[in-house]
Each structure stands twice: as C-alpha cells, then as structure tokens.
Amino acid sequence: MEKKVFCFIYLFLFSIINANINKVYKAKVISHSCIATEVKIKYYLDNEMIGFISYTQIPFYIYAIHSFFIYPQFRNKGYGKELLIYTLELLEEQEASLIFIQPGPFEINNHYFENLPPGEERLLKINLLIKLYQSVGFKTVHELIAKGVTCIYILAGINENPKYLMFQ
C-alpha cells in the first residue's frame, strides 16, 4: 500500500514538474539549391536554446546530419537523444531513404565552435556519441565505404575520420 501511494505521489509531482517545461523545436532552411537543402533545427527549453542539429538533404532522399550540439549545462539529461529522435522522425516523414551521421565532437570556446583536438577526450566523446547514435538505430558503415568516403572528406576539407561514419 505504501509503495502504491509513494508511486502515485512521485508520478503526480513528476507530471506537475514536467507540465511547466516548455520544449520547442524551430526548423529553418539555411540554404537551398537544386542539389541540396540545408536545415537547422534549434531546440529550446523554456525559451532558452539548449542545442541544435543541422542536416543537408541531397538527391534521392539522402540526408547527412553534420552538426549536432547540446550546450554543456544541458548534457546527460536526455535532451540530445530527444532532439535526435525528433529529427529522425522529421526525416522519416520526408521519406528519407538513407541518413548519415558523423560523430565529430566539437565544443564552444569564446562563443566559437571548435573541433576537439586529437587525444583521449576526443576519443571518449566519439565513443559516447557512437553509443547515442546506436541507441536510435544508427550503424557504422562498412570499412570499404569508409575508405571511399576518405577521398570525399579530403576533397571537401572535412577533418573527420570516416571510420566513424554511421547510417540508418
């Protein structure tokens, strides 16, 4: 009996606390051409931007998520996963045939975004991102595809290791 009462009180208080939280996603087309469209989704919590995700649509309903960031004070609270799931559901509505994401951690430094330099911290964050991406259905691309993507990354000036490239 006491456990049931405790559970009821907990659920009641949890619903009151969550009822006061205002979560908003705002999508905006950043650029559009006949080849690609880039979209940025900003995630707001009580009118404060807590993160964003950007993706590009290329022909054949292929999407590449290339920027995914949650501000440090909002991390490890599930907001990143919520934003990622929201974006994937949006892409599913747009009949995405393939979605790519590259775990390339970056941080904010003096109001500018910078890639983390090579080292233990970068590898740790890449592994955390891989686990997050796997939890929503992403898989690592085959090593032959990763080798082919290396050439594209070099030509495009992308400073990431394609062995971490993931898809769904």
* Entry pTM: 0.81
In the chain, the domains with their CATH numbers are: 22-167 (3.40.630.30)
Mind giving me the DSSP string for 34-46? SS-EEEEEEEEET
Tens-place pLDDT, residues 70-79: 999 999 999 9
The answer to whether 27 and 93 are in contact (CB under 8 A) is no
- Nearest-5° Cα angle at 52, 103 to 60: 65
Tens-place pLDDT, residues 29-86: 888 888 889 999 999 999 999 999 999 999 999 999 989 999 999 999 999 999 999 9
What is the Cα–Cα distance from 105 to 120, expressed in whole angstroms? Answer: 12
What is the Cα–Cα distance from 115 to 113, expressed in whole angstroms? Answer: 7
What is the Cα–Cα distance from 42 to 28, expressed in whole angstroms? Answer: 8
